[in-house]
């Protein structure tokens, strides 16, 4: 842990939906604000790695339903994540934060390949590392990749920013007005209750490997700062 907060090293998962501000493509104002928040915590000494989603461009399963081969559609989805990575990299560097993008699909002109030990080295040097192209494998999601990267680079926690929800509730808040948000829950219970706020694979991988996951809402001011500094936000899912 750093003097300023609970966590020394975090993996932050940002969904593509956040980048798009609800539309297709990248909303520069949104990405600039994400960069501002990441820069603020990075300057307090927390090592930040980011896993970026791509749902603002393509989701493989959706394209597949419209007739594109699933694996090819998934590759399109992965390529979309890289555009988000480059946008975030640009806004971070405009703030003077050194960054490296590492992609699971090699594309030497725009990013480094994913090399876990090098990623750790970048973090130790105070660079923000942005992971793109998911796992480089169809049929995976960036939620699962966020957990895998967090485990491999030995992060203290994986922080999942979500659109439209601010945590886990006792019941579906859209259907049940008495539903209340829970501050903590075990990953085992999340799995058993079939929660869909993150992928079951992501919950299971955390649970099996002793990694804590925070699920928190993207909406609102400074939610990324609160999450990274270990302040009270969202729901903490514990192994």
Nearer to ligand UDP, 45 or 116 (CB): 116
172 is in an annotated binding site: yes
The least CB distance from residue 160 to ligand UDP, in Å, is: 9
CB of 239 vs ligand UDP, minimal distance in Å:
22
Range 192-200, long-range pairs (CB < 8 A, 24+ positions): 195/168, 197/160, 197/162, 197/165, 197/168, 198/143, 198/160, 198/162, 199/141, 199/143, 199/144
Per-residue binding string, ligand UDP, 145-184, x by CB under 6 A, is x---------------------------------------
Record the tokens describing residue 196, joined without a space: 């869909």
Q: How far is the CB of 141 from ligand UDP (least distance, A)?
A: 4
Q: Report the residue from 32, 137, 200, 201 that binds ligand UDP according to the rule CB under 6 A.
A: 137
Q: Which of 141, 161, 235, 238 binds ligand UDP (CB under 6 A)?
A: 141
Cβ 199 to ligand UDP, closest distance in Å?
8
| Total residues interacting with ligand UDP, rule: CB under 6 A | 20
Q: Among 42, 99, 103, 142, which residue interacts with ligand UDP (rule: CB under 6 A)?
A: 142
What's the CA gap between 189 and 145, in Å, rounded?
21
Is 59 annotated to bind ligand? yes
Burial code of 210-219, b = ≥16 C-beta within 10 A, e = fewer?
ebbbbbbbbe
Shortest distance (Å) from residue 96 CB to ligand UDP: 27
Which string of x and - marks every residue 50-79 that binds ligand UDP (by CB under 6 A)?
---xxx---xx-------------x--xx-
Among the listed residues 41, 123, 135, 211, the single contact to ligand UDP using CB under 6 A: 135
* Chain contacts with ligand UDP (rule: CB under 6 A): 15-17, 53-55, 59-60, 74, 77-78, 81, 134-135, 137-138, 140-142, 145
């Amino acid at each position: 842990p750093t003097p300023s907060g609970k966590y020394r090293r975090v993996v932050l998962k940002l969904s593509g939906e956040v980048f798009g501000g609800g539309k297709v493509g990248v909303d520069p104002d949104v990405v600039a604000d994400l960069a501002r928040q990441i820069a603020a915590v990075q300057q307090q000494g927390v090592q930040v790695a980011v896993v970026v989603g791509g749902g603002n461009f393509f989701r493989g399963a959706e394209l597949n339903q419209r007739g594109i081969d699933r694996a090819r559609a998934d590759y399109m989805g992965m390529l979309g994540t890289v555009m988000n990575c480059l946008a975030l990299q640009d806004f971070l560097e405009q703030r003077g934060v050194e960054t490296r993008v590492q992609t699971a699909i090699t594309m030497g002109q725009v990013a480094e390949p994913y090399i876990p030990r090098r990623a750790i080295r970048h973090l130790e040097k105070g660079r923000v590392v942005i992971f793109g192209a998911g796992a480089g494998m169809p049929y995976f999601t960036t939620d699962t990749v966020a957990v895998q990267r967090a485990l491999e680079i030995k992060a203290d926690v994986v922080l999942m920013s979500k659109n439209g929800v601010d945590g886990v509730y006792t019941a579906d808040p859209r259907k049940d007005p008495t539903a209340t948000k829970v501050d903590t829950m075990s990953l085992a219970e999340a799995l058993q209750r079939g929660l869909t706020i993150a992928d079951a694979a992501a919950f299971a991988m955390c649970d099996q490997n002793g990694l804590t996951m925070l699920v928190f809402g993207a909406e609102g001011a400074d939610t990324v700062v609160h999450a990274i500094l270990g302040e009270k936000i969202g729901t903490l899912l514990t192994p």
